[in-house]
Amino acid sequence: MSRIGKKPVSLPGGVTASVDGQEIKVKGPKGELSHVLVDHVIAKMGDGGIEIGMVEDTKDSRAMWGMSRTLVANLVTGVTEGFSKTLEINGVGYRAAMKGQTLQLQLGFSHDVDFAIPKGIE
């Protein structure tokens, strides 16, 4: 049995979820996300949250069970806390700075590297 897959995905306050066949939709304070599960697993709403189970006990189903549960847990994390990525720059003379909606990187090239920040990213 999958130690990860058998745990239900708990829904914190302010988060709602719906299961429609293989599609799971999660709504929260930071938006709405959805995911379509693979055919090897099924999802249902339970008392503890969203429960993920196997359609049949095969090697492929067991492999997808824990992964699917983690993907659904990531949906809940995305609508509650959001995601972040930390950039670490090591070395003398390397810099990063925000100039409006542009990330300006000085990475040792003869020119600065400007990266436009997409909408929805802070």
Question: Which pair of structure tokens corresponds to residue 63?
Answer: 């492999």
Task: Note the pLDDT tens digit of each residue in 32-56.
Answer: 999 999 999 999 998 889 999 999 9
CATH 3.40.50.620 fits 16-80, yes or no: no
Sign of the alpha-carbon torsion through 57, 63, 69, 75: negative
Please give the biggest Cα pair distance in the chain. 59
* Exposure letters 55-70 (e unless 16+ CB within 10 A, then b): eeeeeebeebbbbbbe
Of the pLDDT bands very low, low, confident and very high (cuts 50, 70, 90), residue 1 is low
Give pTM, 2 decimals: 0.79
Beginning with the edge strand found earlier in the chain, give each strand of the sheet holding 23-28 in spatial order. Answer: 16-20, 23-28, 31-36
Task: Note the pLDDT tens digit of each residue in 61-113.
Answer: 988 999 999 999 999 999 999 988 898 999 888 999 999 999 999 999 999 99
Length of the chain in terms of residues written: 122
Domain boundaries, the chain: 16-80, 86-122
